[in-house]
Amino acid sequence: YSAIHEQTEILEENSVDYEVVPGVSSAFASAAALKKGLTLPGVTQTVILTRLSGRTPVPEAEGLRSLALHGATLCIFLSVSMIDKVVKELTGPYPKETPAAVVYRASWPDELVILSTLENIESEVKKAGVTKHAMIIVSHTLSDSDIDRAKSKLYDREFTHGYRAGKSENDA
């Protein structure tokens, strides 16, 4: 994350030995809480990790509305307190029916999952009183209807990959 260089720089200047231990991102912990993937064949193969511009600005080209034009899965950090602005920026590039989720304290005992649509997520988040410690995910991969029509090639018997030669129905 963005502050790590500041921390490691101080440690190095003071000859303090340290180790950077990888962890599970709240984006992936949130996907696990939702029991959904962030990519889906034919829907999106791209995940964008970002945040809404606030007191610390983001580069203009990386504004939420610009990123939404890709139609990719958006995992939005540090922005649930501005959920109204998130919804405003995303409505248009994404239809209002687009699945949207907010996961509060993903992987913690008090985790809370709110699965809704872009149109309704703001009111549901405000009703739940979530104002921090939450990941926002906006993606068509969160829709069960998309899952019904988008299947991975991994288990497609006709698809050849490194572990199996594909077979057609006629080969059976």
Please report, in tens digits, the pLDDT of each residue of the chain (172 residues total).
678 999 999 999 999 999 998 889 999 999 999 999 999 888 899 999 999 999 989 999 999 999 999 999 999 999 999 999 999 999 999 999 999 999 999 999 999 999 999 999 999 999 999 999 999 999 999 998 755 566 777 778 888 888 888 887 566 5
Q: How far is CA 146 from the centre of its chain?
A: 16
- Domains by residue range for the chain, with CATH: 23-156 (3.30.950.10)
Tokens 């248009």 belong to residue: 92
